[in-house]
Amino acid sequence: MKLSFQLNGRSVETECEAQETLAELLRDQLNLTGTKVSCEVQVCGACTVLVDGLPVSSCTLLAYEVRDRDVLTIEGLARPDGTLHPIQQAFIDEFAFQCGFCTPGMILATKALLDENPKPTEDDITHYMDGNICRCTGYVPIIRAIQRAATTMAQEGKK
């Protein structure tokens, strides 16, 4: 079936099978491999992308469900001039990743959180990020990175 949607700020027209997931479409057809697939049952958060600004598990969302919608992947988060988004930079600055497998989903979930709540408490962060699992770093550096990103973004007045 034909599929048209916005992907990282650009119009995309492609075809997909009725049973194809958004993660499969992104990774296999569009070569956007930043979206990771791990559990395939909406538990780990590695496949998180934003659809109309909200975090979704792309491993279980059927690709055709994004028709006429806006999808943001980790590849679309950096600034147009190539500089990293403040969230990406905060994850680097706080050493909030180790193997990096969960990092794209964590960063996109963080973006959704900070768009919704620019000044989250530590409890807000912990609750919101509950659907994203990291097996390597522990969560302290991730929480610090989210706090740093919130501060930086508030100072810059950016999303």
| Three-state DSSP string of the chain | CEEEEEECCEEEEEECCCCCEHHHHHHHHCCCCCCCCCCCCCCCCCCEEEECCEEEECCCCEHHHHCCCEEECHHHCCCCCCCCCHHHHHHHHCCCCCCCCCHHHHHHHHHHHHHHCCCCCHHHHHHHHHHCCCCCCCCHHHHHHHHHHHHHHHHHCCC
Can you give the pLDDT at residue 43?
79
Can you give the pLDDT at residue 25?
98
Domain extents in the chain: 2-75, 86-156
For 7-19, what is each residue's pLDDT tens digit? Answer: 999 999 999 999 9
Name residue 5's amino acid.
F
pLDDT at 159 over 70: no
pLDDT at 74 over 90: yes
For 36-68, what is each residue's pLDDT tens digit? Answer: 998 877 778 999 999 999 999 999 999 999 999
The residues with which 70 forms a beta bridge, in sequence order, are 6
The reply to whether CATH 3.30.70.260 applies to domain 2-75 is no
86-156 homologous superfamily: [2Fe-2S]-binding domain (1.10.150.120)
For 88-100, what is each residue's pLDDT tens digit? Answer: 999 999 999 888 8
For 99-151, what is each residue's pLDDT tens digit? Answer: 888 899 999 999 999 999 999 999 999 999 998 888 887 789 999 999 999 99
How far apart CA 86 and CA 77 sit, in angstroms, is 10
